[in-house]
Amino acid sequence: MVKSVLSQADIKLSDVDLIAYGRGPGSFTGIRICTSITQGLALGQSLPVIGISTLATMAQAAIEAGAQQVLAAIDARMGEVYWGQFIAVDGIATLVNEEVVSAPESIVLSLDETQTITACGTGFDAYPQLLEMAGGLTVCELAKFPDAKYMAILAQQGHLNGLSTSVDELKPVYLRDTVTWKKLPGKE
C-alpha cells in the first residue's frame, strides 16, 4: 500500500521529509498498526515523525468546511466516546482543554454556546442525543472520519511549530488507560 501511495504521488520514500501518523485516540489495534508502520518507515529512512490527533484531523476537516467551533467525538465502545473541543485559529483546528474519554452524558462544553458548534465523528451516530447539546449542534458529514488530507495540514503546521520528533519519541495516544474485562461464568 505504501508503494502504491508513493507511486500515485510520483515520489519515492527517499523524497519524503517527514512522516505524519494518526496518534489516536481510536481503536487500540488501529493505533498500533499506524504506529508500527510509522516506526518502520521512519527508522528505515531516518525521518522525523509527527503525531496528529484523529479528533483534530476531523475538526480540521470541519474547519475547512467553514466551522469555527467543533466538537469531535468518536465512538469508543463500552458506552464511552473519545472527544475533544476545537476552535479555528488562523484556519487551524486548535484544541480547547484536553482530549477525553468518558460517558457521552459526561461531556461538558467549553465552547461558546451562543455561536454555532459543529459536530463531527462517529460518536454522534452512536449517541445521537449528543446532537441536542447547546440547543442543537450542526453536523459536518464530511468530517465523520479522519482524512489524511486534513492530517497533512495539521502536520505541516505542527512541523513549522517544532512539534516533530525522532521516531524514538513516537507516542501513540490511547486515552483509556485501563480496561476492565468481565470474564465469562466458569472462566474466572
Per-residue pLDDT at 171: 85
| Mean pLDDT confidence for 32-61 | 95
The percentage of the chain sitting over the pLDDT mark of 90, rounded to a whole number, equals 84
**CA 103 to chain CA centroid, nearest Å:** 18
Q: How far apart are the C-alpha atoms of 110 and 75, rounded to whole Å?
A: 20
Structural contact between residues 101 and 76, judged by C-beta atoms closer than 8 angstroms: yes
For 2-169, CATH gives 3.30.420.40
Per-residue pLDDT at 172: 86
E strand or H helix at 181: none
Per-residue pLDDT at 178: 54
Backbone phi, psi, residue 21, to 5°: -135, 150
Grid cell at residue 23: 496518534
pLDDT at 184 over 80: no
pLDDT in tens, 142-175: 999 999 999 999 999 999 999 999 999 988 888 8
Structural contact between residues 159 and 50, judged by C-beta atoms closer than 8 angstroms: yes
| Confidence class for position 71, pLDDT limits 50, 70, 90 | very high
Its pTM surpasses 0.85: yes
Radius of gyration of the chain (CA): 18
**Could you tell me the residue ranges of all domains in the chain?**
2-169
| Mean pLDDT confidence for 79-99 | 97
pLDDT at 72 over 60: yes
Burial of residue 26 (CB within 10 Å: 0-12, 13-18, 19+) is: buried
